[in-house]
Amino acid sequence: MPLLKFLPDNSDIDFVGARYYAFAVDGLLLLATIISIAVHGFNLGIDFTGGVLMEVKAPHVVEISQMRSEINSLGFADSQLQFFGGGECDHPVNSCVLIRVQPKGGQAEERAVAAIKARLGKTYSFRRAEVVGPKVSQELFQDGVIATALAIVVIAIYVAVRFEWQYGIGAVVATGHDVLVTAGLYSLLHMEFGLNAIAALLTLAGYSINDTVVVFDRIRENRRRYKRMPLGELINLSTNQMLTRTILTSGATATSILPLLLFGGPALFDFTAAILFGIVVGTFSSTYVAAALLLYLPHPHAPRGGEEAAAAR
């Protein structure tokens, strides 16, 4: 037996029978998400609220915690600092810092730039300073939400064309659920919601639909092979056949994300935490939710009469 083959091919887990428990868990996640977003909203980053972005370079290795303290002493409590590399910034390493600050109430962005330059002194060279106005940041937020929604819709259209419209509905519900619950994680834990968050949600939409399409494809294949098998049994058979592949794929992806989560620093923590959470939720929904939704939709090849009733039990 291969080393990674820890689940047998003939596993017989009753996924359809456990669907009500899965729906209950999903319902609690969605309820927590909706309440958190309604009450707390999102902790929007500078990308979506406006602010100042600066790139500075020092002739020496920068102590980023010390620089953060100097920036915060100017009244920028939510300042964000991170190293970046490439080109001149590789000599010495960690000599270039990206600074993002939100000006204090009523303070002009240009004055914020001048204050930071005065605080850091002439030792630093200021390579770039950009101001993100509130109008631009609002447009970025709207565009990000629209891009995420369109991605889910296009995914559903593809699945509906590739399979049948019933599968498209299952795909849009499962994928939309994964994206919404992950967005709820940002709200619940007050993680910064910026362009990186939009990138994480779009990444999860693609990852989630991958597992779902694999299960759907096996259902369609088995439907042709076992034409008289009730739909519930067919879903169980197909999901069990793909179980090892699903777990190995999700496990391998999560393993590659963990080092970034643990050692990537504050700049990558929110992004990788959302991806890791989304992988768990996406695997759960692809296994328990997406296929089970087919039981509640008219299916052109579904069993009729007593067989259909038996499949739904």
Residue 9 in any domain: the answer is no
Does residue 313 register a pLDDT over 60?
no
Position 253 scores a pLDDT of 85
Spatial separation of the C-alpha atoms in residues 232 and 313, rounded to whole Å: 8
Contact 58, 81 (CB under 8 A): no
Are 31 and 62 within one domain?
Answer: no
Residues, the chain: 313
Q: What is the pLDDT of residue 308?
A: 42
- pLDDT of 63 reads 84
Judgement on whether residues 178 and 263 belong to the same structural domain of the protein: yes
CA distances from 305 to 203, 222, 235, 308 (A): 42, 21, 18, 6
Residue whose entry in the numeric block shows the structure tokens 């080109």: 87
CB 55 within 8 A of CB 96: yes
Q: Tell me if 14 is assigned to some domain.
A: no
Nearest Cα to 41, choosing from 182, 194, 188, 141? 188
Which residues form the domain of 87?
51-132
Which residue, 110, 132, 154, sits at the end of a domain?
132
Q: Residue 181 has what pLDDT?
A: 92
Task: Flag whether 3 is in a domain.
Answer: no
Query: Any idea which of 47-56, 66-75, 146-155, 297-306 has the lowest mean pLDDT?
Result: 297-306
Task: Let me know whether 117 and 209 are in one domain.
Answer: no
Residue 5 lies in a domain: no
Q: Which residues pair with 234 in a beta bridge?
A: none
Work out the average pLDDT over 243-249.
81
92 in the same domain as 145: no
From 111, 132, 153, the end of a domain falls on 132
DSSP at 104: P
pTM, to two decimals:
0.72
Asked if residue 264 lies in contact with residue 272, where contact means CB atoms within 8 angstroms, the answer is yes
Q: How many CB atoms lie within 10 A of CB 170?
A: 28
Amino acid 88: pLDDT: 67
Are 162 and 270 part of one and the same domain? yes
Q: Rounded CA gap, 189 and 250, in Å? A: 24
CB 103 within 8 A of CB 112: yes
* Arithmetic mean of pLDDT, 195-213: 84
Closest by CA to 216, choosing from 271, 289, 275, is 289
- State residue 83's pLDDT score: 79
User: CA-to-CA distance for 133 and 52, rounded, in angstroms?
Assistant: 9
**How many domains are there within the chain?**
2
φ, ψ for residue 139 (rounded to 5)? -65, -40
Same domain, 172 and 198: yes
Judgement on whether residues 35 and 176 belong to the same structural domain of the protein:
yes
Q: Using one digit for the tens of pLDDT, what is the confidence trace for 35-78?
A: 999 998 888 777 777 778 888 888 888 888 888 888 888 877 66
CATH number of the domain enclosing 182: 1.20.1640.10
* Residue 194 forms part of a structural domain: yes
For the chain, the C-alpha Rg in angstroms (whole number) is 24
CATH code of the domain covering residue 89? 3.30.70.3400
CB 238 within 8 A of CB 308: no
The predicted structure's pLDDT at residue 18: 82
Q: Which residue has the higher pLDDT, 135 or 289?
A: 289
Separation between Cα atoms, residue 236 and residue 11, nearest integer Å: 10
Least confident of 5-9, 111-115, 157-161: 5-9
Greatest mean pLDDT among 14-28, 132-146, 298-312: 14-28
The domain boundary, picked from 89, 107, 132, lies at 132
User: For residue 311, is pLDDT > 50?
Assistant: no
DSSP helix/strand/coil, 56: strand
> What pLDDT does residue 33 have?
92
- Do 200 and 155 belong to one domain? yes
Residue 12 lies in a domain: no
Mean pLDDT of the chain: 79
